[in-house]
Amino acid sequence: MPTLTWIGKDAVVNHDQQVPYRLIHCDGDRSVGEAGAHAGNLLVEGDNLHALKALLPYYRKRVKCIYIDPPYNTGDEGWVYNDNVNSPEIKKWLGTTVSGEAEDLSRHDKWLCMMYPRLKLLRQFLRDDGVIFVSIDENEVRHLFLLMDEVFGASNSLGTLVWKRRSSSAMRGMPLSIDHEYVVVYAANADEATLYGLEKSIETYPYEDERGRYASTDLTVGMGKDARPGQFYSITNPRTGKVYQPNPERVWRFYPETMKQIIEQNLII
């Protein structure tokens, strides 16, 4: 299996084991309900590496779902938190953990050094059917895939969610207008994990027949008959004899053989 290496990796491979266990101190003035890690809801303030190690004795192999939104490492320092691994806290941690090599690390090396021990700790929290979701963008997504493969196992990758973050076409100094981000999804054990979708509601699936609820979509697509001549043809309604064909700027979504099957399966309104 391909592996990811970077400057400083040797120093952080076992760092999750070297982080000392710490006690969680309850702040009574800011608390509601019963104190303790088993009370249900728990808000921990502090370095997430220390917080994870403190919580591990309570929640090892007990967590069904983890979602993290790590720094995207864009170099933008104008956020509420530094979206940059050159923040003072990370630089101090790298200087202590990675030692002299820290000064030679690239931005990506530093990000990987920061992420690796945290992901290794998070892996220990998941139940056998547990799943972790990691938000990221194009700055580190390619590194994150290899990092997740190494920590969670490539066979436990469940896929990647792509979501549209904006509709504008701002170039932002790049040759391409990037309008999406990713959520990378891995399981502790892909054979045990189950993801559940939403039920087909009336709002999203307004029609219903003996086969269940469904939604409709346009039977034509753009491109025009000159670009896709094989998808520009006439269709005759077998019940009424009426003939249909798309306008010259559009073509049928399917080639004739597939369209014939769809008509026979009564899938056209």
What confidence tens digit (pLDDT) does each residue in 18-73 have? Answer: 889 998 888 888 888 776 555 678 888 888 999 999 999 999 999 999 999 998 88
The model's pTM? 0.68
Spatial neighbors of 262 by CB under 8 A, at least 6 apart, are: 254, 268
Q: What string of pLDDT tens digits covers the 269 residues of the chain?
A: 678 888 888 888 888 998 899 988 888 888 887 765 556 788 888 889 999 999 999 999 999 999 999 988 877 655 444 455 566 666 777 777 766 655 656 678 889 998 999 999 999 999 999 999 999 998 899 999 999 999 999 999 999 999 987 665 555 566 777 788 999 999 999 999 988 877 777 878 888 888 888 888 889 988 888 888 999 999 998 889 999 988 888 999 999 999 999 988 888 88
DSSP assigned state of 21:
P
d(CA 37, CA 130): 20
| pLDDT for 79 | 47
Spatial neighbors of 203 by CB under 8 A, at least 6 apart, are: none
DSSP assigned state of 23:
P
Which run of H or E residues covers position 122? helix 107-125
Q: Beta strands 63-68 and 126-136: pairing type?
A: parallel
Closest to 54 (Cα-Cα) out of 26, 20, 31, 84: 20
How crowded is residue 167: how many other Cβ atoms within 10 Å of its Cβ? 6
Q: Which residue spans of the chain are classified as CATH 3.40.50?
A: 9-166+178-187
Phi-psi category of residue 170: left, alpha or beta, with phi > 0 → left and psi -120 to 50 → alpha: beta
What confidence tens digit (pLDDT) does each residue in 131-140 have? Answer: 999 999 988 9
For residue 158, give the amino acid letter.
Answer: L
In the three-class reduction of DSSP (H, G, I as helix; E, B as strand; rest coil), residue 102 is classed as helix
CATH architecture of 9-166+178-187: 3-Layer(aba) Sandwich (3.40)
> What does the block give as tokens for 138?
């194009």
Determine the distance from the C-alpha atom of residue 104 to the mean position of all C-alpha atoms in its chain, rounded to a whole number: 30
> What does the block give as tokens for 83?
């979206």
